[in-house]
Each structure stands twice: as C-alpha cells, then as structure tokens.
A = this chain, B = another copy of it.
Amino acid sequence: MTLSVCALRSADMTTDQEKNELTQTPLLKIWVPWLGMGGCKLNRRRGSSVPQFTNSPTLIVMVGLPARGKTYISKKLTRYLNWIGVPTKVFNLGQYRREAVQSYKSFEFFRPDNEEAMQIRKACATNALKDVVIYFSKEHGQVAVFDATNTTQERRVSIVSFAKEKGYKVFFVESICDDPEIIAQNITDVKVSSPDYLNCDKDEALADFLKRIECYKQTYVPLDDEKDRRLSYIKIFNVGSRYLVNCVQDHIQSRIVYYLMNIHVTPRSIFLSRHGESNMNLLGRIGGDSGLSPRGHKYATALGTFIKSQRIKDLKVWTSHMKRTIQTAEHLGIPYEQWKALNEIDAGVCEEYTYEEIQDNHPEEFALRDQDKYRYRYPKGESYEDLVHRLEPVIMELERQENVLVVCHQAVMRCLLAYLLDKTADELPYLKCPLHTVLKLTPVAYGCKVEHVFLNVEAVNTHRERPGNVDVSRDPEEALKTIPDHF
C-alpha cells in the first residue's frame, strides 16, 4: 500500500521546486509533499481516512479456563480489527499442540503432573511467541492475539517480560464464567466437533473435556485486583453482564474494550439486502439518488412478504438516507431508522455516470480503480477504505442489536458482508451482492452461516469483475470488457 504513494504525478509541475509544494497521489488522492521524481517522503498518512494511532505492536493475551469463549473472542476481535485496518492475527496454542502431538488421546495429557506433556506444552508456547515476533517484525502485523489458557501467574509473568523485552504492549482479556449451562453449551458448540475428538461420540467427548477443564482448575489463578494492578486488562464475567477494566494504555486498547463490551452471544439473524432495482440501475449509471424502477417496487413488496414469513422477533430495519432504500423499506410496513452512514459510496465526479462515460472522460481514473479497487478514491469522492470507516459505528450497533434487516447499497453491503464473513480488503470490493437477493446471516460456532434468498423478481446485474488489463495505457475495449449489460 505504501508503494502506491510513491507514484506521484503532479498537476503543479511548474512550481515544484517551491518548498511546501504538495501533490496529490493519483490512486489514494492524498496530498503529500513533492520531493521530485526520485523519491517520496511518506508523511503520517498511510492511506486510511483515520490515523492508525498505533506505535508499538500490541500483544493481546487471552486468559481463562477451557470453554470460556477465549477462541470465540479471539477470532471475533481479530475479524473486527482487521476490518478496521489494523493487521491482526490469532496464535492459537491448541493448534501448535495438535501439530506437536499428532494425535490426542485423552484429558490425561493435560494433567498438571504430566511432566512430559508439560515440556511439550511449554515448547509450543515458545514457538507461538516466536511466530508472534516474526509476525510483528517481518509481516507488518500490529496486533497479535495469544489464544491460550494462560491460567497461571508464572506463565503470565513470563509473557509480560517477553513483551517488555521486545517493546510490545500487553493487554490481557480474561473470561470468567461459572454458569454450568453456558459451559456445557460451549462444549457442545465447538469442542465436541474439534479435531481432538474426531473419533469420539458426543457424550465421550463431553465427559473427557470436562475432565480436561478440571486439570486446569487446580492451578488457575485469575488476574488479581491487587497484585496485577499495574497490568492492562479487561475481565469479562459471565458472557458480558459485568466487566472489570484496568489501566487502558492507548487508543487501540480503548477500542478493543469498547468492542468487547458491545458484543453478545444471544442467537439472532442479520438480514442484508440492497434497495430494489432503481431507475439508475436500469441505465447502468452509478450513484445518484433515484427512485425504484417498477421491478424494484415489486422486489420491495416481495421483501415485505419474505420478512413477514420469517416471523422475526423484534426486527429492526435500517436504511440509508437515499430515496431508493427508503422506498424499499416503506413497502415493509415496519418502522425503520435512517443512517446517513449507510449511504452508497460517493463516486465524486463520476456520480451518475455509466462505466462507458467514465472510460470516456476519466480513462486513467478508471484504470487506477481497477488496480486497487479497495483503496482507490474517486476524485472528490470516497474509497472503499473510507466507506469501512464510515460504517464502523453501524457495525458496532449491529453487534449490540439482535434481529436486524439492513437495506443498503452495493458497495456498502460488500463492506458489511466482508466484516461478517471475514473477507480481506482484496476480496471485499468484488463480493457478489446482486439486486433482489436477501442474505440471511446467522452466527454459528466461530463464524456465520449465510443463506442467499433470491426473491424471484428480475433485475439488471450491477457487478463488474476486474478486467484482465488494468494498465492506464489499455484500450477502451479492454476496460469495458467486464461491464454488465444495461438499457
């Protein structure tokens, strides 16, 4: 990403020598000091619309007995941080152990008096931390989540000195739960089907796992109010009814705490849909604020019927401020809330153009967009990256809510879907979000189950694949190859 900042073209070539002359990078549209063709000084801007606010890498250390949701939290938090642009990776100790000890026999491996196993487990932890170092120093990682029980003071003390030595910040996330029903549910949801229990029946697996937990209980020392008062941590009690937050050091820890305090595990479904087909869609024009086409109105009615048939409890409906999503919601007969943040990506000077017109009037812009669709910002408009930051409060509220239907737009839906399904920034702008199709997402285990429901009302296709040739010097035909049909 930093490379594209160096490709500087300047409209101000005549006064370049003047100190403090700025030039706008062509793809990201950021203003940087002009330092001649030879090089480019990267100011603080890394391409994102929000400053990153991270200096030292951060090591998040999970703490808790088995089946307390550590892996669930690790994965979800990582998904969120990656989506908002903070490179994050989970290091799950169980996976290291499974690699070291090819086949799992029984809970006896975890007995505190099993010296041989202890050696292996310590070695695995060391290897995991070695990989963390590589992730930070060579792979531009910013946050690493060490997903392990870390239930002894001794283990935690050694991690803290390791981190101090390397210059990493440490933030502990401890999950404490004494509700036997929640624990049994967790075990059923994710343990019984783990690679460890491949050849066991459910009851055997459950019984063995409960014994495994007992092995840890004997030596478990939770983070201590007094002794650990200088550590930075959050303790989560009983899946979120209560939190203890100690010594938050910086911006990213503050964001992590806010996120963790907003997520819940109550079963619910999230429905994503675009507005019904619009008049601009029919003409192959992007952006604008047009109303629904007749087929679009038909879809909205069908959507209303579909929603009723789902018999959803307390469904919240959200739309953008644009006419086409509101017209769609109006057909549902349910109260809806409008969010400006759900407005479609602003195409700036290209608003209401067809792709043919963009190619005609702004061929270079068109090519730059194909080169890096996630980071490309329309002149006087936005990029997908900007959109993600704009949508962050929507995602936060989506986490707090239960059943929600979001009626939005193509680029917006791609961003929300990428968050929910853990898609990368490269995949995001090309996710398929066709008109007249509802996506029903239901959290399950560590991820999300997706159902695509096409409501049988015809619509134009608005999905443009990345063409083969993305060079600014390409022929118009090469640029227009993947354009969907329109009237």
Give me the interface of A with B, judged by CB distance under 8 Å: 20, 22, 24, 29-31, 33, 43-45, 49-51, 53, 229, 241-248, 250-251, 254, 257-258, 261-262, 289, 291, 297, 300, 318, 321-323, 326-327, 330-331, 335-341, 380, 386, 389, 393, 397, 400
Contact = CB atoms under 8 A, between A and B. Distances in A.
9 contacts: A20-B297, A22-B327, A30-B321, A44-B335, A44-B337, A242-B246, A242-B247, A245-B261, A340-B389
B241 A244 contact: no
B242 A318 contact: no
Number of copies: 2
**A-side binding surface: helix, strand, loop or mixed?**
mixed
A454 to B, nearest CB: 23
B323 A44 contact: no
A302 to B, nearest CB: 14
A413 to B, nearest CB: 19
A44 B334 CA distance: 10
A243 B245 contact: yes
A219 B345 CA distance: 58
Given A43-B338, A49-B339, A242-B245, 17 more contacts: A20-B300, A20-B327, A24-B323, A30-B338, A31-B326, A43-B326, A43-B335, A49-B321, A49-B340, A51-B318, A51-B338, A229-B241, A242-B244, A243-B245, A243-B246, A257-B261, A340-B389
CB-CB nearest 4 A-B residue pairs: A49-B340, A51-B337, A243-B245, A45-B338
A330 B261 contact: no
Contacts of A339: 49-51
A322 B243 CA distance: 41
A227 to B, nearest CB: 14
A335 B42 CA distance: 10
A50 B241 contact: no
Nearest to A257: B261
Contacts of A400: 250-251, 254
Nearest to A334: B44
Nearest to A24: B323
A142 to B, nearest CB: 16
A29 B339 CA distance: 13
A341 B382 CA distance: 12
Contacts of A22: 291, 323, 326-327, 330
A109 B261 CA distance: 42
A485 B63 CA distance: 64
Contact of A261 (B30, B49, B254, B331): B254
A229 B257 CA distance: 21
A248 B31 CA distance: 42
A394 to B, nearest CB: 9
Contacts of A53: 337, 397
Contacts of A380: 289
